[in-house]
Structure 1
Amino acid sequence: MRIHQGAMDTTEQGRSMMKELNRSVWRLNIPGLHFAIAFATTLVGSLILSAISPNAQTESSIAASPPQPIPQHPTSAIVDKIQAELQQALQEIYSQPPQSQTLTPTQEIYRNQLLENLFTWPSPPPLATAQTRRTARRSDAGSDTSATVQDWTPILNAATQLQYSQVPQPENLPGAFSVPDTSTLQLEGTILTLNDVVLLAVENNREIKNAYLERVVQRQDLAVAEDKFNPNFIPRLALNVSRNENGQLFTSLGGLDVGTTISSRMPTGATIELSWLMNQQLRDSNRNEASNQGELKSDFRIGVRQPLLRGSGISVNRASIESARLTEQINLLNLQSTLSNKVTETILAYRRLMQAQEELKNAQVTLTTTRRLQEITQALIDAGRTARVDLVQSQADVANQELNFLQAQNAVEQARISLLDLLDLDENLPIVATEPILTQTPVLNAEELQQFVYERNPEYRIADLTVNRTQYDLIQANDERRWNLDLDVSYGNNASSLVNENRDLQAGLVFSREFGDLTIEQRYKRSQINALQAENNLQNLRESLNLQVNDRVRNVNLRRTQVEQARQARELAEQNLSNEQIKLGLGRDTSIRDVVAAQNALSQARSREVQTIIEYLNAITDLDRILGTTLETWQITLQTD
């Protein structure tokens, strides 16, 4: 004999729910509560069976007898009676706290939820569905009655949560579960601020040292060029003695020479040379001859050589000096550019170390939470609350996070060694990067920086000076192509104490030209090409700087927006983690994995925030380099002496 399918399903559902409630309730360790809840479940179970069984009939009975009117089922009266007896039985239990054990706040919440659901039963649930409510309507002489099967899900859930809350678990799982915070983690080592790193780079970097050493030679080159029109002074002092013997005859001669030579070049190209020589002759012999003894001679001569074609003119003769001065300015700008580039490179390396440290902290937090999750999973398996296959995934997560942690450690070491190499410090020095948190993110205007970059950018100023220097080089190369035509004038005065004074004056033109030397024309063509290329480079650099400034300003403003968005994302992730922890403590629809996932999301949000802040600061540093204000930003004075 088969039972009707709908009736069987409903009956089995009621019996299953009653058994599950009894099984859950009797696992509770609250004195006095067993009897009350068991009494309630017995009565309520009878009500469920009586409410849902009248429709269960066999097919044979239905076939044997014709349909008869079904009498009205007194469900309402039974419900009221059971509810009154249940409330009376639970009132004393609810008003007194358990004495056999002290409940945690989470267990207290679960207990109150269970008792509240028992007190309010059999009020219908807020949303009744086909599975939670069954209404049988009968028609007899114009009357209808309804029998309702109540929803036991809240009672079963409350009892199950209270049961699970008393299962032994590590550190009062789940309510007290927490995960580390990256902001509380500290790395061991010598703490260096960004200002410290910049100063160390300026003082210790070998490339910067070599640039300053090169300045010694560069200053000397400028001094040589500027000394072109300064007179050269050559003093002369000579003392000689000679002795000549011929048998018994001998002659002794002696002399003293005193003189000087002064030469100088004029801006017109003329060369002036002045020489003066005085000689004192002494003689001694066995014949006591005194001829020419003590003779004093004086010789004075001045000569002027003035080019009339090649090498003449102030502009031609001062071209080398002006070119050397421009070269000196270019050398200073190159030194400034070297300093700026090395400072920028050091700053970027420092921030790479900061980012690697933050990644290491996040990896450490993730590894800690993953290991904690594995311990919890093992405890849940031991308590029989989860399947053993879940442990495999936890072990795989731990292995992956250990690998990520090792990779993060390696990244920190690489960034640290790279920074120490720039600072020229011992590679075994354990340094830790730390930088103040970003507080302000100003908005930049590209138009205001366009003209400023032409005045401060080292590369643009070098290109501008190079154009001017090539013009002086072209003047000198063009002068070498001209003929030589020089005017020579000299005047001499010879005087002696024994003879009369002798004077002479000479003047003449010297005309010459070298043929067959192709290097002269080669240097001229090379100077022409250099001048044209320098102008093209200046124009290209000007256009490039316009694009670079616009791009850098756009990048800075974009990074600033990303910093604000990343900060909001991190705050929301913190709020989400707090919400998940509160939900877990209250026993709501969440799990430990949800808390761990929220913590991992927070770690990623913090990592993204640090990354966006570093990218924003790097964008500002790069903009400083383009504008030529890096040294001013870090208060570095360029040593020119």
Structure 2
Amino acid sequence: MNTLRATALLIAVFLLLPAAALAGQEGPEAAGEVLELSVEEVALLALQNNRDLRVQRLNPVIAGTFEQIERGAFDTELFAEAQYAEERASEIARSTGTQFAVEGSDTAAVAGVRRFLPTGTTLEGSVEQSRSISNRAPEQQLARVGLSVTQALLRGFGPAVNLVAVRQAELGTVASRYQLRGFTEALLAEAEIAYWNFVLAREQIAIFESSLAVSRQQRDEIELRIEVGLLPEVEAAAARAEVARREQALITARSLLEERRLRLLRLLNPAPEDGYEQRITATTEPRMKAEPVRDLAERLQLAEKMRPDLNEARLLLQQQRLETVATRNGLLPRLDFFITLGKTGYADSFSGSFRELDGNTYDLQTGLRLSHFIGNREAEARHLAAKTSRQQAQESLDNLRQLVRLDVRLALNELERARQQIAASAVTRALQEETLAAEKERFEVGASTALLVSQAQRDLLASQIVEVEAIVNYRTALVNLYLAEGSLLERRGILLGS
């Protein structure tokens, strides 16, 4: 798959889709016995199939539920109550001293709605109906329609304080998205670096295999010369030891390649249990044009804007500021204004009591309600803790901002080092090739020994390894720079769903 096609696929990835939506995606094992992967395809598969990411993807959904929980405090409440009471007793008339029986029953029911508003206002409307029956008085039915308004005047007054929990929950949801973004960027960087480490191990094996073939050829030539008497027997030991060293190095390199294959497959999440048997072929060449980076100021500004941990720290500071709003309000006394208005109807029947509601009977109650704790130590302590936490959040933000700038500078420094190492290691490798060729020529005319030729071969091998390491190090340093400035997702054409 070419780069343009792979990038187009990456743009289509929405990380906040439910895991079930991705369940039908094919895993790495679907490509056949050998899986051919470019670095773009590795990123795509990691974002689609990685199990750790599937777990993290659910966090914003969970965080979003807390918004609804906090908004639930302003939902309209329906309430109702019904009760029945019955009495049978004996009383004595004070005027005549005669004892008589008293029997009666009372039935009452009330229903209504109640709602608390962000302004600190509690509204309540209710309808009541009661019935009283007694052998000492005629039946009486009472109906009442009432409206009650309670307004906080000091503590709990206004949307600024009553919506603190809602605003904090909203910030928590946004923070969880930044956490997901940071995790996704780290996963993407880990997948790309794992890919380049796999490529490096593959390149090292190719170098070791080529070096081993050369060492064996050199050993065979020396042994042939010993047989015909052109060289002494002692020359064979160095050549044979060099072959043994190459074989040892090749064994280690193959083991390293297997380890990196397994680690890469873990990131790509093979679906079946035996998915780790999948073979991998890397199709993207590590060599690329390495140019110096001179826009440090722009990258620092980009990191200030894009780093998810920095944005999350800013949200935490906003949450702490909101907390101080709530705790400062908690220092105030509780002073509520209330007013209750009702219309009442009396009759000897249920329907009649409601018809009488348009009469001139009513009840009105209004006043102020005050309460305050002397000393108010709990509120004072909460406010002090909130102010200290806010200061701590500010200090943490300033410290993190400094660390982010350091991360970018260190990443840029490592990228420049890797870039310069590419050219320097290429020159070293070319010179080592010339040195080996010259040492072989001297050996051919008897002016050198097999040991010196072996040493020259080892030096060439080391320079070849260093050269390919420099190329791969540049690739990984570039990924780490994008990670440090928080732009890796955008540079890979990946969009986060909302």
TM-score by length of 2: 0.75
Q: Which residue of 2 aligns with 1:542?
A: 401
Q: Which residue of 2 aligns with 1:632?
A: 490
How far the C-alpha of 1:399 sits from its partner, in A, is 2.2
**Rounded Cα–Cα distance in structure 1 between residues aligned with 2:143 and 2:40:** 70
How far the C-alpha of 1:473 sits from its partner, in A, is 0.7
Q: Which residue of 1 aligns with 2:291?
A: 442
Q: 1:366 to 1:307 in 2, by over 3 A?
A: same
Q: How does 1:183-194 map to 2 (within 5 A)?
A: 189-194=34-39
**Rounded Cα–Cα distance in structure 1 between residues aligned with 2:317 and 2:425:** 47
1:212 matched to 2:70? The reply is no
How far the C-alpha of 1:584 sits from its partner, in A, is 9.5
Specify the SS of the correspondent of 2:163.
Answer: helix
1:525 matched to 2:384? The reply is yes
Assess if the C-alpha contact under 8 Å between 2:242 and 2:454 holds in 1. no
Gaps of 5+ in 1: 1-187, 241-254, 282-290
Q: Which residue of 2 aligns with 1:497?
A: 351
2:177 to 332, 336, 344: 332
Deviations 1:477-531 (A, max 9, x none): 2222322111222223345522322532222322223468854433222211111
How far the C-alpha of 1:278 sits from its partner, in A, is 8.0
**Rounded Cα–Cα distance in structure 1 between residues aligned with 2:180 and 2:171:** 14
Q: 1:275 to 1:369 in 2, by over 3 A?
A: farther
Specify the SS of the correspondent of 1:498.
Answer: helix
Q: How does 1:161-172 map to 2 (within 5 A)?
A: none
2:113 to 257, 262, 280: 262
**Rounded Cα–Cα distance in structure 2 between residues aligned with 1:344 and 1:566:** 26
1:430 to 257, 260, 279: 279
Assess if the C-alpha contact under 8 Å between 2:239 and 2:451 holds in 1. no
Q: 1:579 to 1:382 in 2, by over 3 A?
A: closer
Q: How does 1:133-152 map to 2 (within 5 A)?
A: none
Amino acid at match of 1:628: G
**Rounded Cα–Cα distance in structure 1 between residues aligned with 2:335 and 2:319:** 27
Q: Which residue of 1 aligns with 2:78?
A: 234
Q: 1:438 to 1:390 in 2, by over 3 A?
A: closer
How far the C-alpha of 1:392 sits from its partner, in A, is 2.3
Give me the CA root mean square deviation: 3.7
Deviations 1:412-450 (A, max 9, x none): 122222222233223222223342343322332212222
How far the C-alpha of 1:300 sits from its partner, in A, is 3.1
1:455 matched to 2:305? The reply is yes
Q: 1:599 to 1:297 in 2, by over 3 A?
A: farther
Assess if the C-alpha contact under 8 Å between 2:144 and 2:342 holds in 1. yes
Q: 1:314 to 1:398 in 2, by over 3 A?
A: same
Deviations 1:353-408 (A, max 9, x none): 22222222222222222222222222222222222222222222222222212111
TM-score by length of 1: 0.59
**Rounded Cα–Cα distance in structure 1 between residues aligned with 2:36 and 2:433:** 28
The number of residues matched between the two structures is: 426
2:215 to 370, 389, 401: 370
Q: Which residue of 2 aligns with 1:154?
A: none
Amino acid at match of 1:489: I
Structure with greater proportional strand content: 2
Gaps of 5+ in 2: 1-32, 85-106, 132-137
Specify the SS of the correspondent of 1:361.
Answer: helix
Deviations 1:77-134 (A, max 9, x none): xxxxxxxxxxxxxxxxxxxxxxxxxxxxxxxxxxxxxxxxxxxxxxxxxxxxxxxxxx
Q: Which residue of 1 aligns with 2:48?
A: 203
**Rounded Cα–Cα distance in structure 2 between residues aligned with 1:571 and 1:503:** 105
**Rounded Cα–Cα distance in structure 2 between residues aligned with 1:569 and 1:300:** 96
Assess if the C-alpha contact under 8 Å between 2:122 and 2:149 holds in 1. yes
How far the C-alpha of 1:578 sits from its partner, in A, is 7.5
Which stretch of structure 1 is more off in the superposition, 544-553 or 409-418?
Answer: 544-553
Deviations 1:132-156 (A, max 9, x none): xxxxxxxxxxxxxxxxxxxxxxxxx
1:485 matched to 2:341? The reply is no
**Rounded Cα–Cα distance in structure 2 between residues aligned with 1:443 and 1:573:** 27
Specify the SS of the correspondent of 2:277.
Answer: coil
Specify the SS of the correspondent of 2:276.
Answer: coil
Structure with larger Rg: 1
How far the C-alpha of 1:337 sits from its partner, in A, is 0.6
Assess if the C-alpha contact under 8 Å between 2:59 and 2:176 holds in 1. no
Assess if the C-alpha contact under 8 Å between 2:199 and 2:286 holds in 1. no
How far the C-alpha of 1:227 sits from its partner, in A, is 5.0
**Rounded Cα–Cα distance in structure 1 between residues aligned with 2:433 and 2:415:** 27
Assess if the C-alpha contact under 8 Å between 1:323 and 1:469 holds in 2. yes
Q: 1:468 to 1:568 in 2, by over 3 A?
A: same
**Rounded Cα–Cα distance in structure 2 between residues aligned with 1:573 and 1:191:** 34
**Rounded Cα–Cα distance in structure 1 between residues aligned with 2:464 and 2:343:** 93
Q: 1:391 to 1:440 in 2, by over 3 A?
A: closer
Q: Which residue of 1 aligns with 2:320?
A: 470
2:194 to 349, 362, 366: 349
Assess if the C-alpha contact under 8 Å between 1:369 and 1:596 holds in 2. no
**Rounded Cα–Cα distance in structure 2 between residues aligned with 1:357 and 1:343:** 21
**Rounded Cα–Cα distance in structure 1 between residues aligned with 2:285 and 2:35:** 16
How far the C-alpha of 1:309 sits from its partner, in A, is 1.6
Q: Which residue of 2 aligns with 1:393?
A: 238
How far the C-alpha of 1:612 sits from its partner, in A, is 1.0
Higher RCO structure (Cα 8 Å, ≥6 apart)? 2
